[in-house]
Structure 1
Amino acid sequence: MPRELRVLIGAAFCIALGYGLVAPVLPQLAHSFDVGTAAAAVIVSVFALARLVFAPAGGRLVERLGERPVYVAGVTIVGLSSLACAFAADYGQLLLFRGLGGLGSTMFTVSAMGLMIRLAPPRSRGRISSLYAGSFLLGNIAGPVLGGALGGLGLQVPFIVYGIMLILTAAVVLLRLPKRSLPHGADGGAPVVLSLREAFADSAYRAAIGSSFANGWAVLGVRVALVPLFATAALDAGPALAGIALAIFAVGNALILPVAGRLTDTFGRRPLILAGLALAGVATMVLGLVPVVWVFVVASVVAGVGAGLLGPAQQASVADVIGPERGSGRVLAVFQMAMDTGAIAGPVVAGLLVDALSYGWAFGITGAICLVATVPWLLARETLPARR
């Protein structure tokens, strides 16, 4: 693996670890300004909303300035915003600084995907995507544990640690990822930009937009917002099971990620994406249909396996569409926006379904969205170069 990719994978772990550090204490910090629960929840959602709103501009920045400077700037902005959150004087400042963090987040997310596409060999894109996802997963698992411990020293401490960590990460990437290490365009100059019209003309990219939305809705949205509540309310299992509900999903994810990349580089992107969407969809439906603890555990693990199969193959497919010799800021931004839109809309719609009908309906609709997302992939082309 090229050294530059090892740098990016290590940076991904640090970023995810830091995000996990502040996650447990962020609502508590908002409450410290004497605001209600709804206002504390807004502090969490403003980050994702800022990512979604700024994504198109972030894509244009990548196309104009290049992936490396935008990546470094984005990580630095998130680091500085975290330090600012630690010293916020009131709720309004905290809301503003957290929103600025979302702006920086979309900058480094889009540019990181672009860097991975340009640096990863075509026949290894699945394996490298799985390593990148695995580093995020490990950081997300370890972060909340460390964040809870640091929060005991003061609610501001995790934010200070996160900010310093990200500024150091940006410096390492700046030094260890020289501009000359990035590939040029086909004529040796700056890469030609892939337009959105060209990208949407490709059946694989259109299908990836749909599966990205479904992944955001089910995995990043409903799973985080509803599964812990379901474990407590519907299963009557107490706070212990609610606390490990997300960890159960992560176990399935961690079990499959080491082999998912190799499978997608060997058998193609479409089979892994279809299998991942199907497993995640059916397992999510089962969650609401059979409110029994052991079924809940098994279904959560299976859903994690499905997400682990889907992620690397989906990202590798988008990378195949773009190729290493073309710029792709807006194309990647739209792909990321689809996921963020699902992550924002999913919990809201599913929560309304729970209030109006039941958890069964909420999980059933969520699983159905994953299954519907398989239809475009059944019609899409295989993008793995050896299997075109």
Structure 2
Amino acid sequence: MTTPDARVRIPREIWVLIAAAFVIALGFGLITPVLPTFAQSFGVGATASSVVVSAFAAFRLLFAPAGGRLIARLGERPVYLAGLVIVAVSTGATAFAGSYWQLLLFRGLGGVGSVMFTVSAVALIVRLAPPSIRARVSSAYASAFLIGGVGGPVVGGLLGGLGLRVPFLVYAVALLLAASIVFVFLKDASLRPREGAPVLPAMTVRDGWRDSAYRAAVGSAFANGWGNFGVRNAILPLFAAAVIVDRSLDAATRETHQSLVAGAALAVFAVGNAVGLTIAGRTSDRLGRKPFVLAGLLVSGVFTAATGLASDLPTLLAFSAAAGLGAGSLNPAQQASLADVVGRERNGGPALAAVQMAQDTGAIVGPVIAGTMVDHGSFGLAFGVTGGITLLAVLPWLRARETHEVVRAR
């Protein structure tokens, strides 16, 4: 049994990963507001521009099993570094794409590197985090992404005014900077078991599926990928351009305003997310995981559905901030619940990879379906269905067990 203890310190290795996560998120936020608009500059519609977002997740999904085997063979550090470099090179190439199909290919290849460093980092955090502060560690890691995500979209919107290709070049440099941080401050020995140490038994997907909390986490990961990693990044910039920005402006001014509005909406979503992460990260180690997962799904689902009804910038920003608050409440509690299920005595790689694959599947399917709904229906329909998917993920969590040992023992 564990008790939350504020005096327990986050290990140094995790702080290095947190610092790298901040740089990665800052760079990713640069390209998020301009990617759909950049795709549409090649003369394609909402569906095709959404496919560019889905391609990144699709390559992540396809390469996830091979990435897990690479980690087992080479260790986390070299795979993490190689992943960052791959994403940096592919992002730099994206800036020079001469056609929609080149853009699709270069962006998709970035997903290969992304899954390499993501799975490496998550596996390390689960293994290195002290049990009594699992939610706090998950919150700190996720907060690094979100703090970077607050500034990234705003800066990306401003850079978009200099040209839609500029943010991709800046992001490539940011990724190389993150790789340098990990290369310098993490030694190989600190990321691998000591020679002669016993090999931890692997937790398979079949093992995890016997646990109601694991099954519920797979469902909420899929919904989170669909809504917050897929549809929000793919459709919100298009929604801002079509509904919020004044169409009477000249083309150059409209393009600048579109980037700024989309960047502002994504930034306030990140601010709300950071607030939710802070609250859930500190209190779910005391009160349990389920309350924050359920509240997060409900708030995120309702305000995501409402986003399509926004007709002006203040309303869009308010709905985005509220949806971000819900998503932020969900993530650390869900991550800590998974860590509770796996424990420190098992290698959770296969089971954790399956949850990541569920999230990536949602991020692939969601933008394509939502883009089709926009082309043949409306933005309101796309956001409404997305919110409904998130609300459906509440059902398995209602029957899932509470994984926190202290709360269960009361």
Tell me the TM-score range normalised by the shorter chain. 0.7 to 0.9
Residue 362 (structure 1) aligned to one of 358, 382, 385: 382
Range with greater deviation from structure 2 (267-276 or 222-231): 222-231
Does the C-alpha gap of structure 1 residues 149 and 287 become closer, same or farther in structure 2, counting only changes over 3 Å? Answer: closer
Note the C-alpha offset of 1:97.
3.7
Cα distance in 2 between the residues matched to 1:297 and 1:160: 28
Letter in 2 for 1:104: G
Residue 305 (structure 1) aligned to one of 316, 325, 348: 325
Note the C-alpha offset of 1:316.
1.1
8 Å CA contact 1:251–1:301 kept in 2: the answer is yes
> Counterpart of 1:280?
300
Q: Is residue 2:101 matched to residue 1:101?
A: no
Gaps of 5+ in 1: none
Does the C-alpha gap of structure 1 residues 29 and 273 become closer, same or farther in structure 2, counting only changes over 3 Å? Answer: closer
Residue 52 (structure 1) aligned to one of 48, 58, 61: 61
Cα distance in 1 between the residues matched to 2:37 and 2:298: 37
Cα distance in 1 between the residues matched to 2:315 and 2:95: 42
Note the C-alpha offset of 1:92.
5.9
Gaps of 5+ in 2: 1-9, 248-257
Cα distance in 2 between the residues matched to 1:206 and 1:88: 40
RMSD, aligned CA: 3.3
> Counterpart of 2:228?
219
Cα distance in 2 between the residues matched to 1:90 and 1:293: 32
> Counterpart of 1:209?
218
Cα distance in 1 between the residues matched to 2:303 and 2:103: 38
Range with greater deviation from structure 2 (310-319 or 41-50): 41-50
> Counterpart of 2:144?
135
Note the C-alpha offset of 1:77.
2.0
Cα distance in 1 between the residues matched to 2:354 and 2:389: 19
Range with greater deviation from structure 2 (369-378 or 35-44): 35-44
Range with greater deviation from structure 2 (335-344 or 323-332): 323-332
8 Å CA contact 2:87–2:172 kept in 1: the answer is yes
Note the C-alpha offset of 1:86.
5.1
Note the C-alpha offset of 1:330.
2.5
Cα distance in 2 between the residues matched to 1:326 and 1:23: 36
Range with greater deviation from structure 2 (78-87 or 368-377): 78-87
1:272-301 deviation line (CA, Å, top 9, x unaligned): 101111111222334446867765544332
Note the C-alpha offset of 1:151.
6.1
Residue 72 (structure 1) aligned to one of 47, 58, 81: 81
Does the C-alpha gap of structure 1 residues 52 and 294 become closer, same or farther in structure 2, counting only changes over 3 Å? Answer: same
Q: Is residue 2:57 matched to residue 1:37?
A: no
8 Å CA contact 2:33–2:233 kept in 1: the answer is no
The sequence identity of aligned pairs, in percent, is 57
Residue 254 (structure 1) aligned to one of 261, 271, 274: 274
Aligned residues: 385
Q: Secondary structure at the match of 1:194?
A: coil
Cα distance in 1 between the residues matched to 2:160 and 2:227: 30
Does the C-alpha gap of structure 1 residues 204 and 67 become closer, same or farther in structure 2, counting only changes over 3 Å? Answer: farther
Cα distance in 1 between the residues matched to 2:262 and 2:329: 25
> Counterpart of 1:196?
205
Note the C-alpha offset of 1:171.
3.5
